[in-house]
A and B are shown apart, each in its own frame.
Chain A
Amino acid sequence: MTVPEGTWVLARLALRRDRVLLPAWMAALALVAITSAAATKGLYPTADSVRQAAGALNDTPAMVAVYGHIADVSSLGALAMLKPLTTGAVLVAVLAAMLVVRHTRAEEEAGRLELVRAGLVDRFAPMTAALVVVIGANAVMAVVTALGLSATGLPVAGSCTLAAAWLFVAAVFAGVGALAAQVVTGARAANGLAVSALGAAFAVRAIGDTTAPWLSWLSPLGWAQRTRPFAGDHWWVACVGLVVAGALMAAAYGVLARRDLGAGVLPERVGPATAGRGLRSALGLAWRLQRGSLLAWSAGFAAYGLLVGGVADQVGGLLDSDQARELFTRLGGQSGMTDAVLAAMVGLLGVVASAYGVQAALRPAVEEDAGRAALLLSTPLGRPRWVAGHLLIAGTGVVVVLAAAGVAAGAVHGARTGDAGQIGRVLTAALAQAPAGWLLTGLVLAVFGVAPRFAKATWAALAVFLLLGELGPALGLADWLIGLSPYAHLPHLPGGAFAPLPVASLVAASAVLVAGGLTAFRHRDVG
Chain B
Amino acid sequence: MANAITSDAITASGLRKAFGRTRALDDLALTVRAGEVHGLLGPNGAGKTTLLRVLLGLVRADSGVARVLAADPWREAAELHRRVAYVPGEVTLWPTLTGGEVIGLLGELRGGARRARVAELVERFELDPTKRCRTYSSGNRRKVALVAALASDAELLVLDEPTAGLDPLMQAVFEECVARAREDGRTVLLASHILAEVEKVCDRVSIVRAGRVVDSGTLSDLRHLTRTTVRARLTGPPNGLAALPGVHDWTADGDQVRFRVDGNRLSQVLHVLTEREVRDLVCQPPTLEELFLGHYGSRS
Assuming A281-B109, A380-B109, is B98 touching A270 (CB within 8 A)?
yes
Residues of B within 8 Å of A288, CB to CB, are 96-97
* Contact (Cβ within 8 A) A282 B130: no
The residue in A274, A289, A371 that gathers the most chain B C-beta atoms within 10 A of its C-beta is A274
Q: Nearest Cβ distance between residue B102 and chain A, in whole angstroms?
A: 8
Q: Which among B78, B85, B93, B101 is the interface contact of A275 at CB below 8 angstroms?
A: B101
Q: Nearest Cβ distance between residue B123 and chain A, in whole angstroms?
A: 12
Closest B residue to A522 by beta carbon equals B77
Residues of B within 8 Å of A272, CB to CB, are 98, 100-101, 130
Tally of contacts, chain A with chain B, CB under 8 A = 125
* Contact (Cβ within 8 A) A377 B92: no
Instruction: List residues 72-114 of chain B with CB under 8 A from any CB of chain A.
Output: 77-79, 81-82, 84-86, 88, 90-98, 100-111, 113
Assuming A109-B95, A379-B109, is B130 touching A525 (CB within 8 A)?
no
Residues of B within 8 Å of A382, CB to CB, are 77-78
Q: List 7 A-B contacts (CB under 8 A).
A: A186-B96, A271-B131, A273-B129, A275-B100, A276-B104, A379-B110, A380-B110
Chain A window 446-468, contacts with chain B (Cβ cutoff 8 Å), 1 for yes, 0 for no: 00000000000000000000000
Residues of B within 8 Å of A378, CB to CB, are 56, 58, 81, 84-86, 88, 158
Q: Which 8 pairs show the lowest CB-CB distances between chains A and B?
A: A275-B104, A378-B86, A273-B100, A379-B109, A271-B98, A270-B130, A280-B108, A371-B92
* Contact (Cβ within 8 A) B94 A374: no
Tell me whether B134 is interfacial, beta carbon within 8 Å. Answer: yes
* Contact (Cβ within 8 A) A381 B109: yes
Q: Which among A185, A268, A370 is the interface contact of B92 at CB below 8 angstroms?
A: A370
Tell me whether A113 is interfacial, beta carbon within 8 Å. Answer: no
* Contact (Cβ within 8 A) B88 A186: no
* Contact (Cβ within 8 A) B110 A372: no
Tell me whether B60 is interfacial, beta carbon within 8 Å. Answer: yes
* Contact (Cβ within 8 A) B93 A268: no
Instruction: List residues 407-430 of chain A with CB under 8 A from any CB of chain B.
Output: none
Chain A window 502-526, contacts with chain B (Cβ cutoff 8 Å), 1 for yes, 0 for no: 0000000000000000000001111
Q: Which among B58, B79, B115 is the interface contact of A377 at CB below 8 angstroms?
A: B58
* Contact (Cβ within 8 A) A279 B81: no
* Contact (Cβ within 8 A) B104 A279: yes
The residue in B77, B91, B109, B145 that gathers the most chain A C-beta atoms within 10 A of its C-beta is B109
Tell me whether B59 is interfacial, beta carbon within 8 Å. Answer: yes
Q: Nearest Cβ distance between residue A451 and chain B, in whole angstroms?
A: 14
* Contact (Cβ within 8 A) A109 B98: no
Bound Cα distance A185, B92 (Å): 17
Tell me whether A497 is interfacial, beta carbon within 8 Å. Answer: no
Bound Cα distance A371, B53 (Å): 12
Q: Nearest Cβ distance between residue B131 and chain A, in whole angstroms?
A: 6
Q: Nearest Cβ distance between residue B297 and chain A, in whole angstroms?
A: 30
Tell me whether B295 is interfacial, beta carbon within 8 Å. Answer: no
Assuming A186-B95, A275-B100, A378-B56, is B105 touching A285 (CB within 8 A)?
yes
Tell me whether B276 is interfacial, beta carbon within 8 Å. Answer: no
Bound Cα distance A477, B84 (Å): 57
Bin chain B's interface residue count. 35 or more
Tell me whether A266 is interfacial, beta carbon within 8 Å. Answer: no
* Contact (Cβ within 8 A) B101 A279: yes
Residues of A within 8 Å of B58, CB to CB, are 374, 377-378, 525-526
Residues of B within 8 Å of A271, CB to CB, are 97-98, 100-101, 130-132
* Contact (Cβ within 8 A) B100 A380: no
Chain A window 355-387, contacts with chain B (Cβ cutoff 8 Å), 1 for yes, 0 for no: 000000000000000111011111111110000
Bound Cα distance A382, B77 (Å): 8
* Contact (Cβ within 8 A) A274 B96: no
* Contact (Cβ within 8 A) A185 B88: no
* Contact (Cβ within 8 A) B96 A279: no
Assuming A186-B95, A375-B86, is B59 touching A526 (CB within 8 A)?
yes
* Contact (Cβ within 8 A) B90 A371: yes
Instruction: List residues 132-175 of chain B with CB under 8 A from any CB of chain A.
Output: 132, 134-135, 145, 158
Closest A residue to B109 by beta carbon equals A379
* Contact (Cβ within 8 A) B56 A274: no
* Contact (Cβ within 8 A) A276 B101: yes
* Contact (Cβ within 8 A) A273 B81: no
Residues of A within 8 Å of B134, CB to CB, are 109, 185, 262, 268
Bound Cα distance A523, B74 (Å): 9
Q: Which among B60, B81, B132 is the interface contact of A379 at CB below 8 angstroms?
A: B81
Residues of A within 8 Å of B97, CB to CB, are 271, 279, 288
* Contact (Cβ within 8 A) B81 A275: no
Residues of B within 8 Å of A284, CB to CB, are 105
Residues of A within 8 Å of B103, CB to CB, are 274-275
